[in-house]
Structure formats: C-alpha cells, structure tokens
C-alpha cells in the first residue's frame, strides 16, 4: 500500500453535510495551485452512478470530483458502490463491476473482505497523484457500524490518513453534532481528527465565533473555517435523492414533469433541463398527480424496473400518463423508464426481482428481456431526428426489441438505440446523460417549441471555479495541505 503520498480524509457528522461538495471545491483549488489531485471514496451508496473511463461504475459525486481535478473518472476513485434495490438490500459494485446483491445484514458481515480491494484502488491512485482527497460516508459517529468499517475511520486507520470533520449548520445542532461525534469515538480515532469545518452557514460567519470556540473547548479540535452557503453548488450534479428538492427558479409555463420513483436512478440526467430558463421542471412525488398542463412526462431511470413499475401504478400515475398522451402530450422514458413504456418486461431468471413477466404501460410496441449481463459503457453518436451530436453512457440490464425500435431515438457507435411511437410523441432510450449535450438538448426542446439558452458545460465549470474560490476564501487551505502531508511523517515514524 502507498504510504508516502499526502492524503486528507473529509468525514462528516451526518449524511448530506456537504462532503462531496467540499472535496470538489478543494480539488479544483489545489489543481489551480499546480497539484495533481486524485479524489477517492472507499464506499459509496447511491443509485446515481457514472461510467468511468475504464468502463465500470462509480458514484456520481466522484465523477464530479474527477472533473474538478481535471482527471478522467476511474473505477478506483470509488472502489465499492452500493446501489439500493430494496429497503434492505443492494447491488454491490467492486472496482466498477457487479460483485453481487446482498441484504444489509449480509453486507455488514462481508464488508471487511472488501478492504484489500479498497486499499489497492487507493494505492493505484496515490502512486500517480501529488495528493489524495478522500471522502467518508455517512458519519463516523455511527459506531454500531464500526466493526469491519471500510468507509470512515476503518479506512482512515488502515491507510493511516488524517481526518478533518465537517458539520452542517444549516440543519441545526452543529455544536452538538461535532461534540457528540467526539464523545462517541475511541481515543485513537479522536486523535486522528486534526480539525473541523462548519458548512452551509447563512448570514454573517463572525456571529458564530463563540460557537467555534465552544466546539474547540469541547473537542480540542481547531476550526479550519466556516463555509457560507453557496448557491452555485446547486448547479453541480447531485448524488442523493434528497437533493431532488433543489430547485432552479423558473417563471416558464412550459412544464416537464418527472416521476419520483421509489428507486429512482441517475436522476442527474434531468439537471440540465432544470437549469434551462425556458423550462419549469417539476418532480411529481408519491401521492401527487401528474400536472394536467405538463408538456412532457419523463419516466427516469430505476434501480428496480419491475418494482418501480408496480410503485408507479400504486400512485395511479399509469392512468395520469395515458390521459396525458390522449391529450397530445409527450412522454420520454430513460433506461428503466424506457422499459416500463413497453408491452412486457420478462425476467425469467429474477435478476430484477422475482422471476416472471409483467405487463408494461403499453405505450411503445417493444418487449424487454432482463438478463444478468450488464452494459456499462460510454457512448457517442447522433440524434436520429436532427443529426445533432450526442454523448452519454449506458448502465442497464436487459434489452428491448419490437416494431417501434425501427424508429430509434439515437444512433450510438453505429447502432440504433431506443424507440418511438408512430406519432413520435412517446420515446425511450437506454442512454443516460443526453441532456448534458447542448446540441441534443436544443434539438429535443425545439421539437416542443422551447428555446434553449443554456451552455451546460460552461455552467458546470463556472460552478466548480466558484466553489474553489469559495474554499480559498473561507478555509485554511494551507493548513489542510499541512495536515495531508503529516501522513508522510506519521508513516515514516511508524516504519
């Protein structure tokens, strides 16, 4: 294992405290200082995955962090990815490839066996980097999960990496959460933490000076800085479904409605549409009805297509969608959502749930056959209707065939993908990420009579640069670099 490359781990007092965003900002800031930065997250849990340059899956946050670091995303940046399929089980991805599907209890028993793969991936990245920025998962205060841990202190101890702890003041109780984490950690783990960051502060940070002093008095940890709330962070692709609550204000009357499925996946597909001034993107929650004035209804990706199809019907959305189509509305299915639009979904081997065949919504003349073979690949091609260039990625099980496939949505790498109804108002595709391309998005929206004015890539780069500026202004980055470099001296003394 690499013991010499400087490394710093950002852990947090809870989920959604901003670890991913902090790492992205630090990565861009350090790259601008001339360092080669590698982002790394030992274990992630998310159904928002990205396809890495080496062909496997990683969490979306690590792909964003790789972009911030100006590196192509690698499977080694997130060697263990858990993709929830039910409330108690998840598909386990190891170094980009499907390793198995386990119930939560079984995973807790087996996770320690994945530590060698995690350490191998870390070493491969560290060998090529000037500094590695490591993101924890959840919170180290979850001491009930400490045995066999590979996500937080378990990894930090195994790789001998110093830690900085982040707390989210926006949700309240940040003093208690930081002090409480100190209380429940073991003495050697407390000593591994070199300071804390207070994130998402609204208002005048100087008003929290007494709070910082109280945290230091209770924990002995120094403050590394207070990060104010940064609106531009909302432009970066989100990883957790909780972030669907983020909204970009729009006064447009042109509504695109997205169904929030129980196992919604790769919903960052929709971020560019939400950023278009001419679009009002609405997320339809369970128990809500599809707006009758929607121009388009989108069925997004799903980690459990058959299960989410049943969930969709339980909400009555199948009735709403068919009424929408009768009124002349448009429907787009992405990956699992595309499969739901067909006549049938057959799963003889039970790879998506219980073996069997279920009826789809019947809006596309296609049939889907599930299989254990999983496609995870980056793709390029063209939009069939306009010739606009497209690029994206595939992450899916199964294949779909039928008469409507004779009208594909896109050509990718020389082959047709997707399907469209005879009138063209119902469409589907297996390709994720299509809307990040300005040319495709402009063409697709133009078909609806909506003008596109967004330069998406430029917007993301501007957000990353703003985040780096934010970190430079409000965090002691020189101190963070010193902490990362302390790993070298600690490992040298251990030898």
Q: Which residues does the annotation mark as catalytic?
A: 335, 432
Q: Are 342 and 360 in contact (CB under 8 A)?
A: yes
Q: Are 162 and 10 in contact (CB under 8 A)?
A: no
**Which residues have C-beta within 8 Å of that of residue 301, sequence separation ≥ 6?**
47, 264, 265, 266, 267, 269, 334, 335, 336, 337, 395, 432
Q: CA-to-CA distance for 422 and 418, rounded, in angstroms?
A: 13
Q: CA-to-CA distance for 481 and 419, rounded, in angstroms?
A: 51
Half-sphere exposure of 398 (CA within 13 A, CB side): 31
Q: CA-to-CA distance for 405 and 70, rounded, in angstroms?
A: 38
**Which residues have C-beta within 8 Å of that of residue 159, sequence separation ≥ 6?**
1, 7, 119, 122
Rg (CA), the chain: 23
**Residue 478 CA to chain centroid, in angstroms?**
29
Q: CA-to-CA distance for 445 and 452, rounded, in angstroms?
A: 7
Cβ neighbours, 10 Å, residue 289: 13
């Amino acid at each position: 294992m690499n013991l010499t490359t400087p490394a710093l781990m950002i852990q947090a007092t809870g989920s959604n405290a901003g670890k991913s965003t902090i790492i992205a900002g630090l990565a861009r800031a350090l790259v601008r200082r001339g360092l080669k930065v590698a982002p790394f997250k030992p274990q992630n849990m998310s159904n928002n995955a990205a396809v890495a340059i080496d062909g496997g899956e990683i969490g979306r946050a690590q792909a964003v962090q790789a972009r911030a670091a100006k590196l192509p995303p690698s499977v080694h940046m997130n060697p263990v990815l858990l993709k929830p399929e039910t409330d108690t089980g998840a598909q386990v991805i190891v170094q980009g490839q499907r390793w198995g599907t386990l119930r939560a209890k079984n995973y807790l028993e087996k996770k320690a066996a994945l530590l060698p793969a995690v350490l191998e991936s870390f070493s491969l990245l560290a060998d090529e980097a000037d500094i590695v920025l490591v993101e924890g998962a959840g919170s180290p205060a979850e001491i009930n999960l400490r045995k066999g841990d590979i996500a937080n202190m378990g990894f930090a101890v195994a790789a001998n990496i110093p830690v900085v702890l982040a707390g989210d003041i926006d949700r309240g109780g940040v003093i208690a959460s930081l002090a409480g984490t100190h209380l429940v950690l073991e003495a050697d783990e407390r000593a591994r933490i070199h300071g804390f960051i207070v994130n998402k502060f609204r208002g005048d940070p100087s008003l929290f000076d007494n709070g910082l002093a109280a945290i230091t008095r209770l924990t002995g940890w120094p403050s590394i800085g207070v990060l104010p709330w940064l609106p531009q962070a909302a432009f970066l692709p989100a990883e957790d479904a909780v972030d669907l609550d983020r909204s970009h204000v729009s006064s447009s009357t042109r509504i695109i409605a997205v169904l929030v499925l129980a196992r919604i996946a790769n919903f960052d597909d929709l971020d560019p549409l939400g950023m278009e001034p001419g679009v009002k993107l609405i997320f339809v929650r369970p128990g809500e009805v599809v707006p009758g004035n929607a121009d388009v209804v989108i069925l997004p990706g799903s980690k459990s297509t058959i299960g989410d199809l049943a969930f969709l019907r339980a909400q009555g959305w199948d009735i709403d969608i068919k009424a929408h189509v009768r009124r002349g509305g448009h429907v787009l299915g992405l990956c699992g959502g595309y499969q739901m639009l067909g006549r049938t979904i057959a799963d003889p081997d039970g790879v998506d749930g219980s073996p069997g065949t279920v009826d789809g919504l019947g809006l596309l003349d296609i049939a889907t056959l599930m299989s254990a073979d999983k496609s995870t690949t980056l793709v390029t091609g063209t939009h069939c209707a306009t010739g606009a260039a497209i690029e994206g990625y595939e992450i899916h099980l199964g294949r779909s065939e039928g008469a409507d496939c004779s009208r594909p949505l896109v050509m990718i790498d020389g082959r047709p993908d997707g399907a469209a109804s005879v009138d063209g108002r119902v469409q589907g595709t297996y390709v994720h990420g299509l809307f990040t391309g300005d040319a495709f998005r402009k063409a697709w929206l133009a078909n609806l009579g909506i003008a596109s004015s967004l330069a998406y890539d430029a917007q993301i780069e501007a957000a990353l640069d703003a985040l780096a500026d934010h970190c430079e202004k409000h965090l002691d980055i020189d101190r963070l670099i010193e902490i990362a470099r302390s790993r070298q001296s600690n490992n040298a003394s251990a030898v």
